[in-house]
Structure 1
Amino acid sequence: MNDTIAALATPAAPAALAVIRISGPESRRITELLLRKPVSWLPQKAWYRELWDGEQKLDDVVLLYWQQPRSYTGEEMVEISCHGNPLLVDRILAAYFSRGVRAALPGEFTQRAFLHGKLDLTQAEAIADLIHAGSLRSLVVAQQMQEGRLGRKLADARAELLELIAHAEAFLDFPDEDIDPEVGEEMLRRIDRLRSELAALAGTAPMGRLLREGITVVLEGPPNVGKSSLFNAILRQNRAIVSPHPGTTRDTIESLCQVAGYPVRLIDTAGRRTAEHPVEAEGVLRAEEAVRSADIVLHVSIASEPPDADVSAPIPLLPHQRLLRIANKSDLGVHPEHRYHLCVSALTREGMPELDQLLAREIAALGPDAAAGGAVNARQEAALRRAIAALDQAADAFRAGLACELWCLELRTALQEVGEITGAVTSEEILDEVFRRFCIGK
C-alpha cells in the first residue's frame, strides 16, 4: 500500500485513445519527472502536455489529477490519456517502471479502493460483474450491486445482530444490575425475522448464477422438425445449416443471445432417432448430454401432425429443469388436437414474439427476481448459508433454555459470516478470491 502502481486501464489493442492509471504516493512526483512544462496539479483539472523520457519524446497526452482521498483508490492518482498505439503505451509504462513504479496486479486498483474504505466488498465484486455483464439484465443487477444495495441490507443485518449481542452480553457482564436479556417470543421473532431476510438474499443465488453464466436453452426432438430453423429464428441470424435431409445436424451448435434482456446460451442438437452412422450416433449422444445440462428444454415437433406422430418422448428432466413443447411449421397448418405450449413458424416468424415472451417467463421462474437488490454470487451465498445455520442454532438453543453464552456465541458466528460478505471482517484469502478474476488496470 506504500508503493505506487501503474497499468493500462483500456484494452491492449490499437485505438484512438488509451488510458493509463498511476496510483500511490509517488504518482504525481514521478509524472513531473517526465514533464518539461510543469502543471499546477489542481484536482480534477486536465492538462495537455508532452511526456519525455530523457531526450526521447513519448507522446502528447492529457493529464488528469485526482487528489487523495477523492480518487477511485483513495490515493494520489494520475490518469494519462494518450494515443492508443500499444507501442506508445508500453514506452510510457516503461518510463514509469524505470523510476520505481510497479506494475499493478489484477484488480489492485479496486482492492486499494476497498482497503481505503471507498467501497465494500460487495461493491468491489459488482465492478467485475459490471465489466463482464453479457446482457441488459446482468448489467442492471451489477449496477445495483455497485450502488451498494446489497451492502446496505447486510449493514442493517449486522446492526441488528450487534444489538442482539450487545443486549445479551450486557446481561452476561452485569448480572447483578438487573439487565435481563430479551426473552420469549420477542427474541425469537427478531432472530426469525433476521433469518428470513438473509434467506431471501441467499435465494437470489440461482438467478445470480444464471445472469453471470447464462441460461442454457436446448432445442431437441426428432429429425426434420425444424430445430435448426428455429435456432436461427431465435438468434435472428443463419447460424445453423438447414436442410430437408435427416441427420444434417450431427453435433451440438451453440450461440449466445439475449432473451428479454437475459443472457442465453442457445444449443441446437441432432435429431433423436436410431442412427445408422457412427458420427450421427455420437451426435444423438451429445444431444442427450446437452439436454441434461440445460436449464430450459425446447422439445420441438411439427404443428400439423397429430400428437402421437412424435414418437421421441422428451428426455426425462431433473427437478430444476423446465420443459416447453414447441410445435414448429405452423405455416403448414395446426392439428386440432395439438397439445403444445406454443405453435410457431420459423419460416414466417409467426409466434416468435410469443416464444420470446414464453422463454422470458420461464427464465424468470428459475429464480427469485434479482432486480430489487442484486443477486448474490457463490461466495456470498455460502457465507449467508453459514449465517442462517448459526441463527438456527441460536434459536434452537434459546428455545431449549440453554445458557445465554451458547446462543450468544451462535449470534457472533452469524455476525462474522455477514461481515465476511461486505469485508467488515476479512482475510487475505477472501481478498484473493474476490480480486483474482479482475482485469489488470481495474
Structure 2
Amino acid sequence: MQNTIVAPATPPAISAIAIVRMSGPESLWIINSLLKKPPYWEPQRLYYKKLFFEEELIDDVVLSYWKSPKSYTGEDMVEISCHGNPFIVEKILEACQKRGARLAAPGEFTKRAFLNGKIDLTQAESVIDIIHAGGSLALKSAQALQSGGLSRVLLAIREELIDIVSELEAYIDFPEEDIQPRVGEQIIAKLSEIEKKLQNLLSSASLSRVLKEGFTIVLAGSPNVGKSSLFNALLKENRAIVSPHPGTTRDTIEAECRISSFLVKIVDTAGQRQSVDEIEAEGIRRAKEAVKKGDLIIHLVSAPDPPSSDPFVLDELLPEQRVILVASKADLGIHPLNQERLAVSVVTGRGMEELEEKIKDILTGFFPRDFSYGINSRQAVAIEKVLTAIKRGIMGIREKRLPELISSELRYGLEAIGEVVGFTSSEDILDKIFQKFCIGK
C-alpha cells in the first residue's frame, strides 16, 4: 500500500461532472505537479483550479484534499471533480499515472480502508450492497451493516465467549478439580443465549438473498386465463405475446420490475393442461418447476368461466411460499364460484391497484417487524461454524469432558467470528470480496 492509486469514481458516460479519486502517499505531490500554482492545502476544503499536464490545459476542476488518517482510505487522498467528458477523465488518469500513480484495482480504495482499520470486513462488504440496493429495504439493510450493526452484535458475542473461555481455562491450572455442576449449568445458559442470537442472524440470510436478487413471483394457471396479459400489465410494457389461442406461451418468460420498494422477478409460465405436443409439454414441465421456486404464486382462473372447466390444479406448496388467487378477465363477467378471488381486468384496470397492494403486503410480511439487516452467504458460513462450536461446547460440558477440550471448541468459534469481521482473513478471501467492486470504490 506504499504506492499511490488513481481511478474514476463515476461511470464512463457524458454527464455534468465526473470524479477522479487518488489515494496514497504521493497524492498531494502528484496533484501539485499538475497545477501552475499549488494552494496552501487545508483538508476538506474545496479549491477551484486549472489542471495542466506539460503546459497543456486538461480542464477546470474542483479539488478536495483529505489528510491521513481522516479520509475514506486512511491515507492522503485527493478528489478531482471535472467536466463529465470521458475524454477529460482519461487525460486526468493518464497525467496522474505519468506522475507516478497506478490505476487502482476493483475495490482497492475500500480494501485499503479495511486494511488501514477504517472499517471492518462487514462494513466493507456493505459498500457494494449500498451501490446495488434494489429497493428502500435493501438500502436500509446495507446502511445498517455499514454503520456496524452486524459487527457490534458479533463483537459482543466474541467478548462473551472470551469470558467463558477464560472461566474454563482457569480449571486447566487445577486439573484435580472438575467443573462444578452449578458453574457448568451457568456456562450452558450463557452459551444457549449466544446460540439464539446466532440463529437469529442466520435466519436473516435468506431475507438478504431476496433483498439483493429480488422476490420471484410466478403466474400460474391453465392456458388462456390471462397470465401473459397480467405479466405485461405488472411490467407496464409488452414483453409477452398475448393471443386468444390457448398454448401461446410455451416457455417461461422472466422480467424484473419494482413493486412498491421491492425488486421482483415476474415469471410468466405456459398454461398447464394435458398436451401431446412435445414443445408445449416441455413448457408445462418448466412451468411446474418455476412454481416450486416461486416466493409468491399468483394463481389465475378465467373470471367468467366455472371452476369445473379449469384443468389446472396448484400443487402443494412449501410453507414459506405464498399464494394470491386471482380471477382475471373480470370485464367479461364473474362466475358466482369465482367471487372469493381477487377480480382483475387488465382491460379496464379493475383490481390492479388492489393486486399490487396485496403483493406489497405479502412481500413485506416476509420480514419480521424488527428486521434491520441480512447477512450474506460468506458471513452465514462463518456463523454456522460459530454455532457448531457453541453446540459442541454445550455437549462437552454436559458430557463432563476436559476443560481444555471444551475451550478448544469455543476458540474455534472465536476464530470464525474473526473471519466475519476480518480479524483472520486470508489474502485470497479479501481478493474474492473486493474484486466484485467497481474500479474507483
Give the structure-2-normalised TM-score.
Answer: 0.93
CA displacement at 1:345 relative to structure 2: 2.5
Contact in 2 for aligned 1:207/1:369 (Cα 8 Å): no
Mapped pair 1:349 → 2:349: yes
Contact in 1 for aligned 2:23/2:76 (Cα 8 Å): yes
Q: Distance in 1 between matches of 2:278 and 2:286?
A: 12
Alignment of 1:278-293 (within 5 A): 280-293=280-293
What residue in structure 1 maps to residue 377 of structure 2? 378
Mapped pair 1:79 → 2:85: no
Q: Distance in 2 between matches of 1:441 and 1:294?
A: 37
Distance 1:56 1:326, change over 3 A: same
What residue in structure 2 maps to residue 432 of structure 1? 431
Contact in 2 for aligned 1:168/1:181 (Cα 8 Å): no
Distance 1:353 1:174, change over 3 A: farther
CA displacement at 1:343 relative to structure 2: 3.1
* Alignment-mate amino acid for residue 219 of structure 1: L
Q: Distance in 2 between matches of 1:179 and 1:194?
A: 20
Say which SS state the counterpart of residue 439 (structure 2) adopts: coil
CA displacement at 1:277 relative to structure 2: 5.7
Alignment of 1:206-355 (within 5 A): 206-275=206-275, 280-315=280-315, 317=317, 320-338=320-338, 342-355=342-355
What residue in structure 2 maps to residue 396 of structure 1? 395
- Show structure 2 runs of 5+ residues with no match: none
Contact in 1 for aligned 2:247/2:280 (Cα 8 Å): yes
Q: Distance in 1 between matches of 2:83 and 2:25?
A: 26
Q: Distance in 2 between matches of 1:398 and 1:339?
A: 61
Say which SS state the counterpart of residue 199 (structure 1) adopts: helix
Q: Distance in 1 between matches of 2:122 and 2:142?
A: 10
Larger mean CA deviation between 311-320 and 16-25 belongs to 311-320
Q: Distance in 1 between matches of 2:281 and 2:422?
A: 52
Distance 1:291 1:327, change over 3 A: same
Give the structure-1-normalised TM-score.
Answer: 0.93
* Divergent runs of 4+, >6 A: 174-182
Say which SS state the counterpart of residue 441 (structure 1) adopts: coil
Q: Distance in 2 between matches of 1:55 and 1:182?
A: 81
Say which SS state the counterpart of residue 19 (structure 2) adopts: strand
Contact in 1 for aligned 2:6/2:101 (Cα 8 Å): yes
Per-residue Cα deviation, 1:312-334 (whole angstroms, up to 9, x for no partner): 22255456544433221233333
Q: Distance in 2 between matches of 1:113 and 1:370?
A: 33
Q: Distance in 2 between matches of 1:221 and 1:32?
A: 68
CA displacement at 1:355 relative to structure 2: 2.2
Q: Distance in 1 between matches of 2:412 and 2:178?
A: 27
* Alignment-mate amino acid for residue 355 of structure 1: L
- Show structure 1 runs of 5+ residues with no match: none
Contact in 1 for aligned 2:224/2:271 (Cα 8 Å): yes
Q: Distance in 2 between matches of 1:419 and 1:373?
A: 22
CA displacement at 1:281 relative to structure 2: 4.7
* Alignment-mate amino acid for residue 82 of structure 1: C
What residue in structure 2 maps to residue 26 of structure 1? 26
CA displacement at 1:110 relative to structure 2: 0.4
CA displacement at 1:88 relative to structure 2: 1.1
Per-residue Cα deviation, 1:245-290 (whole angstroms, up to 9, x for no partner): 3233334322212233221001112222345765545544443343
Say which SS state the counterpart of residue 81 (structure 1) adopts: strand
What residue in structure 1 maps to residue 129 of structure 2? 129
Say which SS state the counterpart of residue 217 (structure 1) adopts: strand
RMSD: 2.4
Q: Distance in 2 between matches of 1:218 and 1:177?
A: 62
Per-residue Cα deviation, 1:50-85 (whole angstroms, up to 9, x for no partner): 111112221111110001111000100000001111
CA displacement at 1:35 relative to structure 2: 0.8
Distance 1:19 1:370, change over 3 A: farther
Contact in 1 for aligned 2:383/2:417 (Cα 8 Å): yes
What residue in structure 2 maps to residue 413 of structure 1? 412
CA displacement at 1:417 relative to structure 2: 0.8
Instruction: Tell me the percent identity.
Output: 48
Q: Distance in 2 between matches of 1:181 and 1:154?
A: 28
CA displacement at 1:365 relative to structure 2: 5.0
Distance 1:151 1:30, change over 3 A: same
Distance 1:183 1:64, change over 3 A: same
CA displacement at 1:128 relative to structure 2: 0.4
